[in-house]
Amino acid sequence: MADEIELRNGLDGHLAAMPLNPVVAWENLLESKWLPADPLYTGSAFYEQVIIPAEDRSNGVSVGSSEILQGIYQIMINTEKSKGRASYQAELVKIKAHFVRNKSIDSGSTVITPTKIWSAPPLSDEKYYRVPVSIRYTAT
């Protein structure tokens, strides 16, 4: 049966397990807890993540019937401004290679399946160039 805590742990754990250990700005943590301590850190790409629940439904009405959770796991790629497309495109390729469409991610008793992965047009603020990557999932 899908469990929301296992869902978050599974998706966040899968992100954390990406090759080359991406820098992730985990929610509700001070920057000093996730930003590399290396004073030579140049501000290379880092990620932010959020789960956007879309729908949950049951596969039946009986006690113990399985619940299906659906939604979007969104990863925001943040790169320095004025570095060109290459600064985020390599990160986008890494994410798409790691979150493979229709390949299950096990998290306790919850099985998460990415069903679609896409990126939206980049956004910009005063410091970062930000590219949202959306991963639609189902979890049972």
Distances in whole angstroms, Cα of residue 30 to Cα of each of 27, 35, 104 = 9, 9, 32
pLDDT tens digits for 77-134?
Answer: 998 888 878 888 989 999 999 999 999 999 988 999 999 999 999 998 888 889 999 9
Strands (E), the chain: 46-58, 67-80, 105-107, 110-119, 123-124, 128-139
- Cβ burial, residue 119 (10 Å; 0-12/13-18/19+): middle
Give mean pLDDT, residues 23-51.
Answer: 75
Going by C-alpha positions, the residue among 4, 106, 99 that lies closest to residue 52 is: 4
Domain residues of the chain, as ranges?
Answer: 4-139
Largest CA distance in the chain: 58
User: Please, what sign has the CA dihedral across residues 14, 44, 130, 91?
Assistant: negative
Residue 136 pLDDT level (bands cut at 50, 70, 90): very high
Give pLDDT, residue 15: 96
Domain 4-139 of CATH type 3.30.2000.20: yes
Give mean pLDDT, residues 14-37.
Answer: 81
Residue 43 pLDDT level (bands cut at 50, 70, 90): low
Going by C-alpha positions, the residue among 71, 75, 33 that lies closest to residue 50 is: 75
Of residues 88 and 44, the one with the higher pLDDT is 88
Give pLDDT, residue 4: 85
Give pLDDT, residue 51: 92
